[in-house]
Amino acid sequence: MRLPVYLDYHATAPVDPEVLQAMMPYFTEVFGNAASRNHEYGWTAEAAVERARQQVAKLIGATEKEIIFTSGATESNNLAIQGVAEMYKEKGNHIITSPIEHKAVLDTCHALEKKGFEITYLPVDHYGRVTAEVVRNAITPKTILVSVMAANNEIGTINPLREIGKVCKEKGVLFHTDAVQAIGKTPINVEEMGIDLLSMTAHKVYGPKGVAALYVRRKNPRVRLAAIVHGGGHERGMRSGTLNVPGIVGFGKAIEVAGRSMVEEGARIQMLRDLLWEKIQTELDEVYLNGHPTERLPGNLNVSFAYVEGESLMMGMKELAVSSGSACTSASLEPSYVLKNIGVGEDLAHTSIRFGLGRFTTQEEIEFAAKKVISTVKKLRDLSPLYEMAKEGIDLKSVNWTGH
């Protein structure tokens, strides 16, 4: 067992050996520029890119012409939102999103607000879900785009995309989803779900970093985008720049592997995730699950360990690579905005840990992780004045704290 145990698959994943093998020839042997139309080197590179485009399209029920390759999901989200805003600004200036989107979506929306766009941040329920009903009520004649994530990166909650897509179709509004965490983990079909734009990235599905894609619908309706990167007119003019051929080949392969292993792998990972949660609940009192109990990514477990601060918890279990919603892990000193928006109190937000399980997580690792978490929480609760007070029956909410 390699230490620290990697349980941060929402952040990134290692490249699958099968993916790496598929990429290798494209660094040295088949190095051509996919845009070189007059020789063999260019043709083979282009053929490899087109094969990857098909692989990516197939997983989400799209056609290959609807896939635009980019440098990362941040770029995909920027292109989708800024591209629609610029192209459809004559039609309206209203965009709808949720307050628990990834920063790549939120900050893009903030930037558009400064340019005169109006952004509605929909309320989410205490599981982090956006309902089709709140989307419907928020749409106005000025609305041009709804952007709601497929699955949340912190709490793993999966949104009812099909229902939201249906409302958007009815109202004639474009629907974008940031599906970075959901792709390859839960089935997504752009036709069945009425999705017009979809962001995804390779490195969360065991592909390389630095390559991603944006799905852009071509029929019913044909979505048009204003480019944000200008140049040689690659990717149907929506994203200029020489294509990252080895990366794209790896992305395609990674998506192909994800497509064929998703069901079996998801079941195995979920079994391990449930085992971890069960062990934690058996040994520790006052632990709270953040996010939806069933409508969540199989590899996600987000737990608040009351009375124990997240960063000190991570410090005590440095044999585990996890992530925390505590303020102390970020430069801002604000705890997780996702937890805050789903109604988790700041006191509990400071005590949260995100476990992300993935393809290479083993049962041995999960049993080790469970033991480590349990012993560290117990140790820190012995050190916690809050746990002591709670055990004495003091209502912590009634204490007059001297916050600073």
Partner 1 sequence: MAYNTKVIDHYENPRNVGSLDKNSKAVGTGLVGAPECGDVMKLQIEIDEKTRVITDAKFKTFGCGSAIASSSLATEWVKGKTIDQALAIKNTDIVNELSLPPIKIHCSVLAEDAIKAAIQDYVKKNPEKEKLS
Active site residues: 328
DSSP symbols for 10-39? TT--PPPHHHHHHHTHHHHTS---TT--SS
Strands (DSSP E) found in 164-313? 174-178, 197-201, 212-216, 287-289, 300-305
**Least distance to partner 1, CB of residue 380, Å:** 8
Residue from the set 141, 333, 395, 398 that interacts with partner 1 by CB under 8 A: 333
Is 327 one of the binding residues for partner 1 (CB under 8 A)? yes
**Least distance to partner 1, CB of residue 104, Å:** 24
Q: Which two tokens stand for residue 128?
A: 């982090």
How many residues contact partner 1, by CB under 8 A?
31
**Least distance to partner 1, CB of residue 156, Å:** 23
Q: Which is nearer to partner 1, 122 or 303 (CB)?
A: 303
What does the alpha-carbon distance between residue 182 and residue 186 come to, in Å, rounded to a whole number?
Answer: 6
Q: Which is nearer to partner 1, 222 or 397 (CB)?
A: 397
Is 312 one of the binding residues for partner 1 (CB under 8 A)? yes
- Taking Cα atoms as reference points, which of 94, 76, 90 lies closest to residue 238? 76
Is 316 one of the binding residues for partner 1 (CB under 8 A)? yes
Grouping H, G, I as helix, E, B as strand and the rest as coil, residue 155 is coil
Residue from the set 328, 337, 368, 378 that interacts with partner 1 by CB under 8 A: 328
Q: Which of these ranges, 47-55, 113-121, 150-158, 325-333, lies near partner 1 under the rule CB under 8 A?
A: 325-333
**Least distance to partner 1, CB of residue 286, Å:** 13
Q: Which is nearer to partner 1, 11 or 30 (CB)?
A: 11
Window 271 to 310, contacts with partner 1 (CB under 8 A) = 307-309
Is 141 one of the binding residues for partner 1 (CB under 8 A)? no
Q: What is the DSSP letter of 95?
A: E
Q: Which of these ranges, 32-40, 118-126, 287-295, 381-389, lies near partner 1 under the rule CB under 8 A?
A: 381-389
Residue from the set 17, 282, 294, 382 that interacts with partner 1 by CB under 8 A: 382
Which residues neighbour 103 within 8 Å (Cβ) at sequence distance 6 or greater? none
> x/- site string to partner 1, residues 337 to 376, per CB under 8 A?
--------xxx--x--------------------------
Residue from the set 283, 286, 311, 367 that interacts with partner 1 by CB under 8 A: 311
Q: Which is nearer to partner 1, 66 or 309 (CB)?
A: 309
Is 229 one of the binding residues for partner 1 (CB under 8 A)? no
Residue corresponding to tokens 């079909």: 189
**Least distance to partner 1, CB of residue 384, Å:** 5
What does the alpha-carbon distance between residue 190 and residue 210 come to, in Å, rounded to a whole number?
Answer: 24
Q: Which is nearer to partner 1, 69 or 307 (CB)?
A: 307
Window 67 to 96, contacts with partner 1 (CB under 8 A) = none
Grouping H, G, I as helix, E, B as strand and the rest as coil, residue 201 is strand
Residue from the set 21, 172, 383, 391 that interacts with partner 1 by CB under 8 A: 383
Instruction: Name the packing angle between helices 40-59 and 245-283 (round to 10°).
Output: 30
Distances in Å between the Cα of 392 and the Cα atoms of 80, 347, 359 are: 54, 19, 44
Is 331 one of the binding residues for partner 1 (CB under 8 A)? yes
Q: Which two tokens stand for residue 145?
A: 């785009």
| Residue at 403: amino acid letter | G
Helix (H) or strand (E) holding 260: helix 245-283
Grouping H, G, I as helix, E, B as strand and the rest as coil, residue 322 is coil
Is 116 one of the binding residues for partner 1 (CB under 8 A)? no
Q: Which is nearer to partner 1, 90 or 382 (CB)?
A: 382
What does the alpha-carbon distance between residue 322 and residue 314 come to, in Å, rounded to a whole number?
Answer: 7
Q: What is the DSSP letter of 243?
A: -
Q: Which is nearer to partner 1, 24 or 394 (CB)?
A: 394
Q: Which is nearer to partner 1, 350 or 354 (CB)?
A: 350
Q: Do residues 34 and 249 touch, judged by C-beta distance below 8 A?
A: no
What does the alpha-carbon distance between residue 340 and residue 194 come to, in Å, rounded to a whole number?
Answer: 30
Distances in Å between the Cα of 320 and the Cα atoms of 88, 152, 249, 263, 362 are: 47, 22, 32, 27, 13
**Least distance to partner 1, CB of residue 378, Å:** 13
Q: Which residues bind partner 1 (CB under 8 A)?
A: 307-309, 311-312, 315-316, 326-329, 331, 333, 335, 345-347, 350, 382-388, 396, 399, 401-404
